[in-house]
Chain A
Amino acid sequence: MNDLLRRLLNLPPQASTYARDVDFLHYFVITTTMLGATFVFLLALYFLVRYRRRTPGETTVRVVTSTPQEVFIIGSILSLFLVFWVVGTLQYDRMMTPPPDAMTVYVTAKQWMWKFSYADGRSSMDVLTVPEGKPVRLVMTSRDVIHSFYVPAFRMKHDVVPGRYYTAWFEAKAPGTYAIDCAEYCGVSHSRMLGEVHVLSPGDYSSWLDGHPPATGDLVAAGRDVAAQRGCLNCHTLDGQPHIGPTWVGLYGSQVKLEGGRTVAADDAYLTRSMMDPQADIVVGYKSVMPTYRGVLEEPEAAALVELIRSLQTAPHAPSITLPKVTTEGSALPQEPLP
Chain B
Amino acid sequence: MTTIDAGVVPVPRELAPRRETYLNVAHTVKSWALTTDHKRIGVLYLVTTVLMLALGGSFALLLRTHLLTPAGALMDSYAYNRTFTMHGIVMVWLFMIPSIPAAFGNFLLPIMIGAKDVAFPRLNLLSYYIYLVGALWVIIALWMGGCDTGWTFYTPYSAHSPSAVVPTVFGIFILGWSTIATGVNFIVTVHTMRARGVTWFRMPLFVWAIYGTSVIQTLATPVLAISLCIVGIDNWFDWGLFDPARGGDPVLYQHLFWFYSHPAVYIMILPAMGVFSEVVPTFSHKNPASYNAIAYSTLGIAFVGFATWGHHMFVAGMSLFDAAAFGVLSMLVAIFSAIKVFTWVLTMRRGSVVIRTPMIYFLAFLFLFVFGGMTGVATATESLDVHWHDTYFVVAHFHFIMVGGTLTAWLAALHYWFPKITGRMYSERWGTVAATLVFAGFFITFFPQFLLGNGGMPRRYATYASAYQPLHVISTVGSWILGASMLMTLGYLLVALFTGERAGNNPWDSRSYEWYTPSPPPKHNFEKEPRFELDPYDYTVPAERMHG
**Which residues of chain A in 123-168 are interfacial with respect to chain B, using CB atoms and an 8 Å cutoff?**
144-146, 148, 150, 152-153, 155-159, 161-164, 166
Q: By the criterion CB–CB under 8 Å, are A12 and B250 in contact?
A: no
Q: By the criterion CB–CB under 8 Å, are A63 and B6 in contact?
A: no
- Is A89 an interface residue, CB under 8 A from the partner? yes
- Chain B residue nearest to A190 in the complex (CB): B460
Q: By the criterion CB–CB under 8 Å, are A77 and B338 in contact?
A: yes
Q: How far is the CB of A211 from chain B (nearest CB, A)?
A: 29
Contacts of B381 in A (CB 8 A): 25, 29, 84-85, 87-88
- Is A36 an interface residue, CB under 8 A from the partner? yes
Q: By the criterion CB–CB under 8 Å, are B7 and A57 in contact?
A: yes
Task: Encode contact with B along A58-72: 1 for CB under 8 Å, 0 otherwise.
Answer: 111111110000100
- Is B265 an interface residue, CB under 8 A from the partner? no
Contacts of A182 in B (CB 8 A): 458
Contacts of B150 in A (CB 8 A): 185
Number of interface residues of A (CB under 8 A): 86
- Is B202 an interface residue, CB under 8 A from the partner? no
With A22-B386, A162-B244 already in contact, the answer to whether A40 and B370 are too (CB < 8 A) is: yes
- Interface 9-residue window, one of B104-112, B256-264, B344-352: B344-352
- Chain A residue nearest to B462 in the complex (CB): A191
Q: How far is the CA of A51 from the CA of B539 in the complex (A)?
A: 15
Task: Encode contact with A along B334-363: 1 for CB under 8 Å, 0 otherwise.
Answer: 110011011101101111111100000001
Q: By the criterion CB–CB under 8 Å, are A12 and B349 in contact?
A: no
**Which residues of chain A in 71-112 are interfacial with respect to chain B, using CB atoms and an 8 Å cutoff?**
73-74, 77-78, 81-82, 84-85, 87-93, 95-97
Number of inter-chain CB pairs below 8 Å: 286
Q: By the criterion CB–CB under 8 Å, are B339 and A164 in contact?
A: no
Q: How far is the CA of A61 from the CA of B352 in the complex (A)?
A: 10
Q: By the criterion CB–CB under 8 Å, are B315 and A163 in contact?
A: no
- Chain A residue nearest to B325 in the complex (CB): A89
**Which residues of chain A in 188-238 are interfacial with respect to chain B, using CB atoms and an 8 Å cutoff?**
188-192
Q: By the criterion CB–CB under 8 Å, are B335 and A78 in contact?
A: yes
Complex partner residue of B383 from A25, A43, A62, A185, CB under 8 angstroms = A25
- Chain A residue nearest to B465 in the complex (CB): A179
Q: By the criterion CB–CB under 8 Å, are B342 and A40 in contact?
A: yes
Contacts of B156 in A (CB 8 A): 144-146, 162
- Is B218 an interface residue, CB under 8 A from the partner? no
Contacts of A36 in B (CB 8 A): 370, 374
- Is B19 an interface residue, CB under 8 A from the partner? no
Contacts of A159 in B (CB 8 A): 315-317
Contacts of A48 in B (CB 8 A): 1, 348, 353, 355, 363
Q: How far is the CB of B266 from chain A (nearest CB, A)?
A: 17
**Which residues of chain B in 1-55 are interfacial with respect to chain A, using CB atoms and an 8 Å cutoff?**
1-2, 4, 6-7
Q: How far is the CB of A26 from chain B (nearest CB, A)?
A: 6
Q: How far is the CA of A203 from the CA of B281 in the complex (A)?
A: 70
- Chain A residue nearest to B81 in the complex (CB): A188
Interface size range on B against A? 35 or more
Contacts of B386 in A (CB 8 A): 22, 92, 95, 155-157
- Is B64 an interface residue, CB under 8 A from the partner? no
Q: How far is the CB of B340 from chain A (nearest CB, A)?
A: 11
Q: How far is the CA of A156 from the CA of B388 in the complex (A)?
A: 10
Contacts of B540 in A (CB 8 A): 59-62
Task: Encode contact with B along A167-197: 1 for CB under 8 Å, 0 otherwise.
Answer: 0000000000001011111111111100000
Q: By the criterion CB–CB under 8 Å, are B77 and A183 in contact?
A: no
Q: By the criterion CB–CB under 8 Å, are B455 and A12 in contact?
A: yes
Q: By the criterion CB–CB under 8 Å, are B250 and A53 in contact?
A: no
Q: By the criterion CB–CB under 8 Å, are A92 and B335 in contact?
A: no
Contacts of B464 in A (CB 8 A): 191
Task: Encode contact with A along B310-338: 1 for CB under 8 Å, 0 otherwise.
Answer: 00001111001001100110011011001
Contacts of A40 in B (CB 8 A): 341-342, 345, 366, 370
Q: How far is the CA of A191 from the CA of B81 in the complex (A)?
A: 10
Q: By the criterion CB–CB under 8 Å, are A60 and B455 in contact?
A: no
- Chain B residue nearest to A19 in the complex (CB): B387
Q: How far is the CA of A62 from the CA of B316 in the complex (A)?
A: 51
Q: How far is the CB of B80 from chain A (nearest CB, A)?
A: 8
Contacts of A90 in B (CB 8 A): 383
Q: How far is the CA of A156 from the CA of B386 in the complex (A)?
A: 6
Q: How far is the CB of A305 from chain B (nearest CB, A)?
A: 24
With A10-B455, A163-B245 already in contact, the answer to whether A53 and B4 are too (CB < 8 A) is: yes
Q: How far is the CB of B250 from chain A (nearest CB, A)?
A: 6
With A43-B345, A73-B339 already in contact, the answer to whether A37 and B371 are too (CB < 8 A) is: yes
Q: By the criterion CB–CB under 8 Å, are A163 and B249 in contact?
A: yes
- Is A44 an interface residue, CB under 8 A from the partner? yes
Contacts of B4 in A (CB 8 A): 52-54, 56
Q: How far is the CA of A33 from the CA of B380 in the complex (A)?
A: 13
- Is B451 an interface residue, CB under 8 A from the partner? yes
Q: How far is the CA of A304 from the CA of B7 in the complex (A)?
A: 84
**Which residues of chain B in 261-289 are interfacial with respect to chain A, using CB atoms and an 8 Å cutoff?**
284-287, 289
Q: How far is the CA of A55 from the CA of B539 in the complex (A)?
A: 14
Q: How far is the CB of B326 from chain A (nearest CB, A)?
A: 10
- Chain B residue nearest to A11 in the complex (CB): B454
- Is B456 an interface residue, CB under 8 A from the partner? yes
Q: By the criterion CB–CB under 8 Å, are A183 and B244 in contact?
A: no
Q: How far is the CA of A50 from the CA of B542 in the complex (A)?
A: 22
Q: How far is the CA of A183 from the CA of B456 in the complex (A)?
A: 10
- Chain B residue nearest to A160 in the complex (CB): B317
Complex partner residue of A70 from B6, B290, B334, B353, CB under 8 angstroms = B290
Contacts of A57 in B (CB 8 A): 6-7, 509, 542-543
Q: By the criterion CB–CB under 8 Å, are B157 and A187 in contact?
A: yes
Q: How far is the CA of A37 from the CA of B538 in the complex (A)?
A: 30
Q: Can you report 29 residue pairs joining A to B where beta carbons are below 8 Å apart? A: A18-B383, A33-B375, A34-B371, A34-B374, A43-B345, A44-B366, A47-B351, A51-B351, A52-B2, A53-B285, A56-B4, A58-B285, A59-B539, A59-B541, A61-B350, A63-B286, A64-B287, A77-B334, A77-B338, A78-B331, A78-B332, A81-B334, A85-B331, A96-B323, A145-B156, A159-B315, A162-B244, A184-B154, A185-B150
Given contacts A33-B375, A51-B348, 7 further A-B contacts (CB under 8 A): A37-B374, A41-B367, A54-B4, A61-B350, A97-B320, A161-B316, A161-B317
Point out residues on B near A: beta carbons under 8 Å.
Answer: 1-2, 4, 6-7, 77-78, 81, 148-150, 154, 156-157, 160-161, 244-245, 248-251, 284-287, 289-291, 293, 314-317, 320, 323-324, 327-328, 331-332, 334-335, 338-339, 341-343, 345-346, 348-355, 363, 366-367, 370-371, 374-375, 377-378, 380-384, 386-387, 389-391, 451-452, 454-456, 458, 460-465, 471, 509, 538-543
